[in-house]
Structure 1
């Protein structure tokens, strides 16, 4: 990324990122700036030319995530006149450091681990890690290993849940010491409307750079109908490179299908180079429900599946189909919000299903933040546009939202452990949207904790959670013992001698802020937890909301605390109703909750049960 702009300097966070830069909460420590790690990449790809070896952000992704976490207040931020206002990061006076560990083609485990080591040595307080991939074993996962050492040093590590949703069991970065973040929408959209010759109008999404020359109708054609004679229909319908015939496209609005393989970036340049005046990006799958406000190179509107189907039918049945695309506008407020992004990866946890993942959800759709002017705003080499800000979407964007909040909590409560900070954010999160209804997914059905974890972040409540669920490194090591990792492997991740306890460690007693019970069957299951008081003396009473067919009893039902730091334990007794067991009515996961309240604080834990 090069030198850290002065407007981003402050008291601290650190971001390790995909083609990235980093944020850090150094407080009174030295400001490191930007560093890069390439030995692992070089081992696979060989030595590169001298200009390659730089911490500069040549992709934009790192600048974007860094400024979300720690960017200072900047007035007049806009993307082509849209979303105009004052922008800031989650921890706006943070001192930031960049640790670039990814290069064109991927991220080497050796470079990721080197980045973690450097960040720990530099004394960062928060690591924001917007990268990752699917893993089958925590002890072979470089992010899990690096973050373990960071947490052992008191560093909070926040990570992305992944962009492989909406399928279940797609979440990654599932180590229990990681803070895993899903992505959801905000109450703002960038909207462009499509009007057809029959006066039918459709609402789409766009951040197009240009407008149509005038408000008149233009001829409408599909990519298939506009294909070159030598092009394949399968390629032309997506408007892939070199497929459109200039003679057929020039002066028209072309309809291109959203390309699941190449993404939404390739159709626009092809349509534009073929002479199209505009483009309708049409979803050809009911599962595509995320409409990203992309900085298209020509007037464009991105439409959903049902609207796209209507337009296809209109073109086929009209002799002279025509359309008009409006200039994008900023719409506020959007109801309902937050909505879970369909791209956001879902649980359950594929490595250790007894730990609910993701942990939390935060804004990750159409987020405006800083961007590197070393690359085009679209990321395309053919695009010469350079801007300091853009809108991007992904769990890469939701991750630093949480990192910024962690930075603030670290300032307010420097004595809190990484697990305590994580607990404070999780137990104060909300399961409701801005109209007080259950959070929805992109199909506007009620989302589950496998999509949002404990819920959507509420920073103001996290600073005073009342009670926290704390964990230390020994707890994590005992958990690794319980999932049958041997001493040698555990010592490899811990880098210190460690002997697993002789007694059998009960996974149900792992002091996580959520409770997951697997294979309940006809058993009565006990799960123990310990809460620590971080507020004034008070008495907490419990309320539970049991899943259908499940009974939940908490013993004791009241906890009295006389001082800060006092700990109390309780037991959660879970069993299935007899008729449910006999009828086999519960064959999948069901969800409930447990809430401790003293009248001022609500400490909520999600309960996940599988019969």
Structure 2
């Protein structure tokens, strides 16, 4: 009897394991069929006919139209011809052999790429515009900018409709609202797309976050950079006071949320592109991309942008933040305007003053500095390593649980840049009782430094400065230092230069297509 029960239990476990294995083979795919035969203004009958054809087509592979309807979660039936469905690998492979199919590819995830700027670019000078400045006359007036990203925060002053007239009659979009989300005459549209992400993770998103609202901040940042209002009195912790303005402050804007933690699925991106084309946007911006460029017609970004441009829409996309590695640029399609990041001529300077009198320039947005008349002991992260730390390499980068608070307390901690975020290193240092932090670049990162809002007095120094500081510590019996308060410095030279984190060419798919084409002062959007 016991043996029979064991046999039954073993069979049940085996069935469960096999079932999980079979389910694991089912993934979400995109089947791309090209364009439609009808014109730019399809009727409802046209759209229904396309969706029916998708069901018929897939049903011929799955055995029934009912199974096809269950599998398909997006039917791209208006400007893009294709569908997204949950399939087994062999089913996808068989579909790819059909002569009418251009491509079949996995529903991959892409990742997110992030005031003085317009003055620095020469578009205005001290609030005035050059006599022949088209930007000064129009500022993008009534251009409609669509942004494919993490959504939008509608209450932001960047999207207030004060001073705006009626919404352009050519606008055909909608606002997917809820009790706490409203569009207006500036923010004229907002949609969200989550079916691709849900198919990828195998479950529905929490209803509390399923809206066009930006819970990340990236989408509001990128949309306001492109088309946000001119908002006076903008600053970060009191630094960079001035008017923050998007490139086209008089433009109307619309948000297409297709990114959910931790990424943006091809299927949702394609749905966002189709909606934006249908709604009547003039420009689409997106700061989303992949680590390595996929083939042109095996990416939701490539296919969606191709159809957008073919309908007269300008597509502007970020090149990525994987620099300075050569060939790291993404969004390399010939029909896309690919933008890199550069520096501007303003620094937020916080100096390191060593005990030997040497002063080195650093960058920071820390709210406070250390007293100018007092020096504090210096310690490197390598010296502060805990005896129990299992990974001594990560200790160099001041990661959590690698440093000894007894060694760090009351001192300025020197950390290497990399592995964890720059601001996170400061959080770790502060939690250990450090009075300050110096963040140093490695050789590959060079001498580019970035101003961050650290939680303690901290500053970021370049490779050569960092090398000197490490040498000073290692050859001084009692090394000490201080960190000065932050001050704003304009007219920094050279500027602009390409930011170290900005992805580089060449275009790995086709080196003859020049990428990156343009640069935006995006390193400090203040």
**Structure 1-normalised TM-score?**
0.56
32, 47, 52: which one aligns with 2:204: 47
Is 1:353 the equivalent of 2:511?
yes
Residue in 1 aligned with 2:193? 37
Residue in 1 aligned with 2:256? 99
Please give the secondary structure, in 1, of the residue aligned with 2:423.
Answer: coil
Please give the secondary structure, in 1, of the residue aligned with 2:414.
Answer: strand
| Separation of aligned partners in 2, 1:277 and 1:15 | 45
* Per-residue CA distance 1:102-121 (angstroms, 9 max, x = gap): 11121110000011111111
Instruction: Identify the range of structure 1 (17-26 vs 35-44) with the bigger mean alpha-carbon deviation.
Output: 17-26
- Measured after TM superposition, the shift of residue 11 of structure 1 is 2.5
Residue in 2 aligned with 1:16? 147
Residue in 2 aligned with 1:127? 284
Residue in 2 aligned with 1:208? 366
Please give the secondary structure, in 2, of the residue aligned with 1:343.
Answer: coil
| Separation of aligned partners in 2, 1:252 and 1:363 | 35
| Separation of aligned partners in 2, 1:360 and 1:349 | 14
Cα pair 2:372 2:484 within 8 Å, conserved: no
Change (3 A) 1:145 1:193: same
Cα pair 1:10 1:96 within 8 Å, conserved: no
Is 1:225 the equivalent of 2:356?
no
| Separation of aligned partners in 2, 1:12 and 1:21 | 18
| Separation of aligned partners in 1, 2:398 and 2:480 | 19
Residue in 1 aligned with 2:266? 109
Cα pair 2:143 2:252 within 8 Å, conserved: yes
Please give the secondary structure, in 2, of the residue aligned with 1:140.
Answer: coil
Question: Where does 1:209-288 land on structure 2 (aligned, <5 Å)?
Answer: 209-212=367-370, 215-231=373-389, 232-259=391-418, 261-288=419-446
| Separation of aligned partners in 2, 1:29 and 1:331 | 45
| Separation of aligned partners in 2, 1:346 and 1:366 | 19
Question: Where does 1:196-595 land on structure 2 (aligned, <5 Å)?
Answer: 196-212=354-370, 215-231=373-389, 232-259=391-418, 261-368=419-526
- Measured after TM superposition, the shift of residue 213 of structure 1 is 5.4
Residue in 2 aligned with 1:483? none
| Separation of aligned partners in 2, 1:245 and 1:106 | 35
Instruction: Identify the range of structure 1 (210-219 vs 344-353) with the bigger mean alpha-carbon deviation.
Output: 210-219
Cα pair 1:184 1:364 within 8 Å, conserved: yes
Change (3 A) 1:318 1:179: same
Rg larger in 1 or in 2? 2
- Measured after TM superposition, the shift of residue 172 of structure 1 is 1.4
Please give the secondary structure, in 2, of the residue aligned with 1:354.
Answer: coil
Change (3 A) 1:299 1:27: farther
- Measured after TM superposition, the shift of residue 233 of structure 1 is 2.4
Structure 1: any 5+ residue segments left out of the alignment? 1-7, 369-611
- Measured after TM superposition, the shift of residue 156 of structure 1 is 0.7
* Per-residue CA distance 1:190-211 (angstroms, 9 max, x = gap): 1110000001111011111333
**Structure 2-normalised TM-score?**
0.65
| Separation of aligned partners in 2, 1:327 and 1:137 | 49
Cα pair 2:149 2:256 within 8 Å, conserved: no
CA RMSD of aligned residues (A): 2.3
| Separation of aligned partners in 1, 2:444 and 2:246 | 34
218, 235, 252: which one aligns with 1:78: 235
Residue in 2 aligned with 1:175? 333
| Separation of aligned partners in 2, 1:10 and 1:209 | 37
* Per-residue CA distance 1:138-170 (angstroms, 9 max, x = gap): 111211110111112211110111122223222
- Measured after TM superposition, the shift of residue 10 of structure 1 is 6.5
Change (3 A) 1:43 1:286: closer
| Separation of aligned partners in 2, 1:281 and 1:17 | 34
| Separation of aligned partners in 2, 1:44 and 1:136 | 19
Cα pair 2:398 2:415 within 8 Å, conserved: yes
Residue in 2 aligned with 1:160? 318
| Separation of aligned partners in 2, 1:56 and 1:20 | 5
| Separation of aligned partners in 1, 2:495 and 2:525 | 14
